[in-house]
Amino acid sequence: MKSTTAFWDASVLVPLCVQESASRFAGSQLRKFLPVVWWGSLVEVQSAICRLRREEELSENGMQGALARLHLLSRGWKEIIPGDSLRELALQLLGEYPLRTADSLQLAASLTWCDSRPSKRIFVCGDNKLSRAAKSSGFSVIEL
């Protein structure tokens, strides 16, 4: 049984649901680290899956399989729920790093998860700007 947790950016959850070049590496990280995610990750990942279907990169059956994998995966992750302090931290992070809204919320959730003590904490990430911000914040980043 895995006991080590890591914060997972929503972009690295997609390859766990949809077969792509990063799927094997993402799966190896899932075997090592239990995912901690921000509250909006389920919506973000489902949005990515639906977009792939609309762009015809996934068949209808492929989309249904990906959504089933997503919902199974979500049963095992820990979610950091939104709140006033998380929102305030996300706003502060927007002034410190060149992040988009969802990425600032994810970084704020990761800092909330570790009580703002990111040293020796893992952040699994597939986004360059978010990776840089997480590293600058003190996380050990595993990039997809």
pTM: 0.94
Across 76-102, average pLDDT: 97
> At the fourth CATH level, which superfamily is domain 1-144?
5'-nuclease (3.40.50.1010)
Residue 2 has pLDDT above 80, yes or no: no
Across 124-133, average pLDDT: 96
- In tens, the pLDDT along 102-119 reads 999 999 999 999 999 999
pLDDT band (50, 70, 90) for residue 33: very high
Q: What is the mean pLDDT of the chain?
A: 96
Across 27-54, average pLDDT: 97
Residue 55 has pLDDT above 70, yes or no: yes
Residue 3 has pLDDT above 90, yes or no: no
- pLDDT score of 1: 46
**Long-range Cβ contacts of 127-135 (<8 Å, 24+ apart):** 127/9, 127/11, 127/103, 129/97, 129/98, 129/99, 129/100, 129/103, 130/9, 130/11, 130/99, 130/103, 130/106, 132/97, 133/93, 133/96, 133/97, 133/98, 133/99, 133/103, 133/107, 134/107, 134/110
